[in-house]
Amino acid sequence: MKIDFKAQLKRTERLLSRAFIIFRERLIKRKARGLLFLALLIIICLGSYFRWLEIFELITFDWRMRMRGAQMTLPEIAIVEINDDSLEQIGRWPFDRKYHARLIRVLSEYGVRQICFDIIFDRESPLDDTLISATKNARNVYYPYGRGVDLIDGLKQAARGCGHINIEPDIDGKRRHIRPFIKLEGGSVPQLAFQWLLIAFGKSRKICRFLWTTKADLS
């Protein structure tokens, strides 16, 4: 039996050539995938550096809030407004501190558990002692303050708690977020509402250290 070495050699050459072509195509595909992954990684890094992704997140956040709709409020929480009727009956703003002190006494008589003001009492007045005394007797009043704005002497010591009300805008100028803590007075100061939660529910700041990230704690 004769063996056709030339035919076998050609067949081997065809198989090797086909295998080489397949290997080259696969290698090209792998390189293409690698280049595509590298391009995506570069785009993500550039987007993070130039904060493109943050803008996209803020836009979609607004959409999600609109789709969510209005949320139910708790009936246990009441808001005491200062409106046009208040100005007509009491007079122009700012009101005398005796009205705020009277409000504290009335709310305390009705058994209100916590009283939280969103007014910064940073300027002295003749009736400061009246407000301080009502605050001390109630033992459940919270006051706000912030960077460059502090409370009058004695009011912070008389209050149950105090917290910051600083709100910094996002990169598009809108205000959406509140920092739970900021650096103030050489330490970490909680936001006013968060300070109320910590005290009202008996939680210490150590339990909430998971919020003390760079974004939440520093500014």
Residue 209 maps to a domain: yes
* Cα dihedral 28/31/37/39 (nearest 10): -100
Residue 147 maps to a domain: yes
In this structure, are residues 203 and 180 in contact, taking their beta carbons and an 8 Å threshold? no
Give the domain extent around 94: 84-217
For residue 117, count other CB atoms closer than 10 A to its CB.
18
In tens, the pLDDT along 132-141 reads 999 999 999 9
In tens, the pLDDT along 8-58 reads 656 666 666 676 677 677 767 777 777 778 888 887 777 767 777 788 888
- Number of independent structural domains in the chain: 1
Helix (H, G, I), strand (E, B) or coil at 187: strand
**What would the DSSP string read from start to end of 132-172?**
HHHHHHH--EEEEEBTTB-PPTTHHHHSSEEEE------TT
7 or 213, greater pLDDT: 7
Residue 18 maps to a domain: no
Residue 206 maps to a domain: yes
Residue 168 maps to a domain: yes
In tens, the pLDDT along 50-84 reads 777 788 888 888 898 888 888 888 888 888 988 88
| C-alpha–C-alpha distance, residues 57 and 52, integer Å | 9
In this structure, are residues 145 and 164 in contact, taking their beta carbons and an 8 Å threshold? yes
Residue 30 maps to a domain: no
Closest CA to 149 of 189, 180, 111, 112: 189
Residue 134 maps to a domain: yes
pTM, 2 dp:
0.69
DSSP 8-state assignment for residue 182: E
